[in-house]
């Protein structure tokens, strides 16, 4: 299927195809595209490769002239679907080709976590730990099914509940510091997908606004189970212990100990301090 779609683009465009060979290769390619003043970069893959290419395109800090188009080829494809593209690669390819022909594009805002750009989300603690646990399970041949995500998330939250002191501190200039067990930061909604099921956390998050944040001040076993339902289903749950921010420009997260950290669904190791910032009109994408 990938070859079929790539050939369709090659017939319509002056196209050079490059296959990434190592982690960080997408960043190198994005930098080369910007240095070469290319009109368009097309990614084929999931949110991780998109993140790398975007970080390469924006390595200089300012919005590039080079536009981005993305063909969904990953497991969740949150960025592509948030832009309104079909999750099917062939259908998405047809839409993007038509968008290129018509000059159909939009300019979107992005987020930054220290010196790393992100397109859809970032997380400290829970979701980063879930991602690491699921990568470990996939490495042992287990399928990343919705039920396995649900069970892994519940187990991770229950484990976090054993710690009586929230390990993360949130700080905004205009708000008193909050202590939380984990924090999810979104640049768009939904947070992710399990198959075709959207996981809604910060439902108002939008490419044209600042960043949204969801965190929890309290976790015990009943709260963990309620929160898992809130995170992974569309059912509303009253959560008095939630910290919820919308359309925030800058804030920071400090950890009492090294905590798991993820950006756009990719593990970034551990962190003790991250400064987040929203950057409006950072990138132009084909839709």
**Which residues 6+ apart lie within 8 Å of 51 measured at CB?**
26, 117, 118, 119, 263, 264, 266
Q: How far is CA 8 from CA 4, 46, 136, 140, 175, in A?
A: 6, 20, 36, 36, 52
User: What predicted TM-score, i.e. pTM, was given to this entire model?
Assistant: 0.87
Average pLDDT over residues 74-82: 93
Domains by residue range for the chain, with CATH: 2-103 (3.40.50.10330), 121-280 (2.60.200.40)
Average pLDDT over residues 161-174: 81
Beta bridge partners of 262: 123, 267
Listed range (29-38, 96-105, 165-174) with the worst mean pLDDT:
165-174
189: number of Cβ within 10 Å:
20
pLDDT of residue 230: 61
3-state secondary structure of 204: coil
pLDDT at residue 123 is higher than 60: yes
Digit-coded pLDDT (tens) for 235-271: 545 566 789 999 999 999 999 999 999 999 898 989 9
- Mean confidence (pLDDT) of the chain: 87
Average pLDDT over residues 144-155: 65
């Amino acid at each position: 299927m990938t070859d079929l779609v790539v050939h369709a683009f090659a017939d319509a465009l002056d196209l050079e195809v490059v296959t990434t060979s190592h982690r960080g290769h997408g960043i190198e390619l994005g930098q080369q595209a910007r240095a070469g003043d290319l009109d368009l970069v097309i990614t084929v893959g999931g949110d991780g490769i998109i993140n790398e290419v975007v970080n390469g395109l924006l390595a200089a800090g300012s919005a590039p002239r080079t536009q981005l188009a993305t063909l969904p080829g990953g497991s969740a494809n949150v960025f592509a679907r948030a832009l309104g593209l079909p999750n099917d690669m062939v259908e998405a390819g047809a839409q993007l080709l038509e968008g290129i022909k018509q000059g159909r594009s939009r300019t979107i805002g992005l987020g930054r976590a220290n010196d790393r750009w992100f397109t859809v989300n970032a997380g400290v603690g829970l979701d980063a730990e879930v991602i690491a646990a699921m990568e470990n399970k996939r490495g042992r041949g287990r399928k990343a099914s919705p039920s396995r995500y649900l069970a892994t998330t519940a187990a991770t939250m229950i484990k976090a509940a054993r710690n009586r002191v929230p390990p993360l501190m949130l700080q905004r200039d205009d708000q008193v510091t909050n202590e939380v067990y984990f924090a999810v930061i979104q640049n768009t909604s939904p947070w992710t997908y399990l198959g075709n099921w959207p996981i809604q956390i910060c439902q108002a998050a939008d490419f044209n606004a600042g960043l949204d944040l969801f965190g929890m001040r309290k976790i015990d076993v009943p709260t963990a189970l309620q929160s898992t339902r809130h995170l992974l289903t569309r059912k509303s749950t009253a959560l008095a212990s939630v910290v919820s921010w919308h359309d925030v420009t800058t804030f920071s997260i400090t950890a009492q100990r090294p905590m798991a950290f993820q950006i756009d669904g990719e593990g970034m190791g551990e962190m003790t301090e991250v400064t987040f910032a929203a950057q409006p009109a950072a990138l132009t994408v084909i839709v």
